[in-house]
Amino acid sequence: MPAQSLSTKRAEVEFHNFASMGEPERAVKVYAEENERRGDLIRQFAEFIGPLSPFLEIGASAGHSSYMMSNEFGAFGFALDLSADALRHGMVLQDAWKLERAPVRIAGDAANLPFRDHSLSLVLAFQMLSQFMDLDAVFREVKRVLAPGGVFLFAEEPLKRMLTLGLYRVGYYDTMKPWERKLYDWGLLGYLVRDVIGARQEEAFGIRQNHTLGLRDWHSLVQRHFAEQQYRIFVRAQGWGERLMYWLGRKIDRYGSDWVPARLLGGTLAAVCRKEGRRLPIAVQVDQFESLLRCPDCHASLSRDAADTLRCAQCRYEAPNEGGVYNLLPSKERQELYPGDRDDVIDFCLPGHEARLGEGWYELEGQFGNKYRWIGPRATAVLKRVRQGPQRIRIRGHANERVFAQGPVRLEVRVNGSRVGSWPLHRTGLFLLEADIPEADQYQVEILASPTWQAPPDRRVFTVNLSNLRLVPRDPENTRS
């Protein structure tokens, strides 16, 4: 099993592009709160961690914690994420927070890091390891790029909860139904639902998540790869229903610690893990950061030319600086995950996308990666085949509370006159629809949505909004319907 399937990576890229700065004011506030929490953790383990440079944050999203490392801690390093767009959107933080320094931003894969062996002092990961099915693959890569005595700090990783019926997944608080919010406030919802609260949103988007590890599983994983480790456990007891169980768990625990409450109620884990070997300082010039990198295709060294393009002399791989980000994904993955302006993709963030839209679309709205168009009860578009083989259509959108206020929400998609799928939507928020489509060179796509709603005095008729339509290969990884 791969650490992440290609379909999951595709969903990751789209989700983080869409969500990283979709609501800028809210995002900046959330990122600041996360940095405060993560900065405190780094200070608590400062003696164990040691030198911070050069560092790498994997799964960095907008890169906000890497900005914290570069400025608050004065470290030199890299922010890496599958989503190049999320890293680009995050550059707004440098102005918003009036920061002088920025990390080197790289689009890359945590299970195939474009870094040389033993090149880094510190690797950071926050709230991202649970998105990998094969965690050993990620740990092996982290261990490979760490110098002897280097440190891997990961945090905010979910701990499997024992006390739950695991009936279904639930979204975030603002997408819960009224009765779910009431149970959540009382501390009872966690006894009913599966995985962690909020997991449903990413799962619905096509992101597979691994919430199978309890404390013992995480400890076993860490011990397989690292010589020393220290942990911190965080148990959030929500409402009287969980506060009571937390108190009982502390009574049962022989040391009066959070170990038993975490097994019963779940929570999150922070771990600081040291690689075996004697630690020596890594000397690197900031303006020669490419000396720490390697080619993602052939693993040879990279150089950087006067045009600020990274190049491999051995296999001719190249990665220009595109809006402040170097895309160092392997060539085949880069072509699939970043198709650009292509006939089989309508990305509302790209100029010229409107040329392939037909009837029923309103003007472009949103900013950063969250660009979308509202539709009425019917909208049409044209997609053309670029690759051979069976195809699926993939449609990304959002349904808000106003459409749900009118009654049950349903979408139907027709391709070349034939219905390929019909879906009920049960909750507000992001949605992702996929369906197999018949063989053809060109596809006339028709999207039907109901019910309709209006916002007087605006006389337009709305249903949902959409942000991306594309064709994807129909292969074993794409089993969603």
Can you tell me the mean pLDDT for 409-413?
98
Peptide bond connecting 451 to the previous residue in cis, omega within 30 degrees of 0: yes
Superfamily of domain 345-473: Galactose-binding domain-like (2.60.120.260)
| pLDDT value, residue 203 | 74
For 81-102, the pLDDT digits (tens) are 999 999 999 999 999 999 999 9
Query: What residue spans define the domains of the chain?
Result: 6-274, 345-473
For 435-471, the pLDDT digits (tens) are 999 999 999 999 999 999 999 999 999 999 999 999 9
pTM (2 d.p.): 0.87
| β-bridge partners, 268 | 158, 234
State how far the alpha carbon of 198 is from the alpha carbons of 4, 91, 114, 267, 277, in Å: 20, 26, 31, 13, 40
**Confidence band, pLDDT 50/70/90 cuts, at residue 373:** very high
User: Encoding tokens for residue 273?
Assistant: 């893990």
Helix, strand counts (H, E) of the chain: 14, 21
Can you tell me the mean pLDDT for 395-405?
93
For 162-183, the pLDDT digits (tens) are 999 989 888 788 778 899 999 9
**Across the chain, what does the average pLDDT equal?**
92
CB atoms inside a 10 Å sphere around CB 439: 9
- Residue 123 pLDDT greater than 70, yes or no: yes
Inter-residue contact 429 to 201 (CB < 8 Å): yes
AA identity, residue 78: F
Superfamily of domain 6-274: Vaccinia Virus protein VP39 (3.40.50.150)
